[in-house]
Amino acid sequence: MRVTVSLFRSLLMVAASCMTLGGCFVALGGAALGTAIVATDRRSMGIQLEDAQIEHRINDAFDAHFARESVHIDVTSYNQKVLLAGQVPQEKDRADAEAMAASSQGVRQVVNELTIGSMSGLASRTEDTATAGKVRSALLEAPGLPNGAVKVSCTDGTIYLFGRVGSAEADIAQRSASHVAGVKRVVALFDLLTDAELAQLQRETQAPAAAPAVPGTEAR
């Protein structure tokens, strides 16, 4: 599914409305199943949409290239940085997956965390989902870490942290995640902001968002 101009504008209007109300999300269907536009996310709405499309394109490419059930690859894109995590049978598959992701439209960087070995089972993946949920809860309770600043994924007990954060925020997130039961390793994939960039971002976040105009009520 391609995001048409009209759909994109509609999503922007709805998301802007959410921001004025204080933190909701816009669920996307089709190509971005399971993805949402989150008002508290520090990525722009356009980049959130782009990340969803990147994940969709790469997953489609993997489905076409690899035999069904021959690999287990979790694809996560944040700010156009793509993480590949999971298991593949041989080194060639690992290299192929990285090359395919790197050549996908919109990708600026690929982090290849794929391991060579047998596929993880349902029990392991279910445990990863639960562990990621516990880490998200811990981050919500962490003082000094704004809601929505950090995105979490988990594969084989390894927690991956994404976000546009300052150095102090990065330290808080890493410490909080490392103390959660079930976490084997924490990998920080942050885009670190300078103090000036973080201050500007905080000013923009605190400024009240303008409500979108209702069609037909524009000034004449």
pLDDT at residue number 1: 40
Angle at 74 between CA 36 and CA 156, to 5 degrees: 115
pTM of the model: 0.80
pLDDT at residue number 205: 73
Q: Which residues 6+ apart lie within 8 Å of 44 measured at CB?
A: none
Burial class (CB in 10 A: 0-12, 13-18, 19+), 134: middle
Q: Specify the amino acid at residue 106.
A: G
pLDDT at residue number 204: 83
pLDDT at residue number 4: 47
E strands, the chain, in order: 25-28, 35-38, 72-78, 81-88, 109-116, 150-155, 158-165, 185-188, 191-192
Residue ranges in 104-194 assigned as alpha helix (H): 122-141, 167-178
Question: Which residues are 187's β-sheet partners?
Answer: 160
Question: Which residues are 172's β-sheet partners?
Answer: none
Paired tokens of 153: 């994924």
Report the Cα–Cα distance between both ends of the chain, in Å, rounded. 37
Average pLDDT, 10 consecutive residues per value, the chain (220 residues): 47 48 45 62 96 98 95 98 98 98 98 96 96 98 96 98 97 98 98 94 71 53
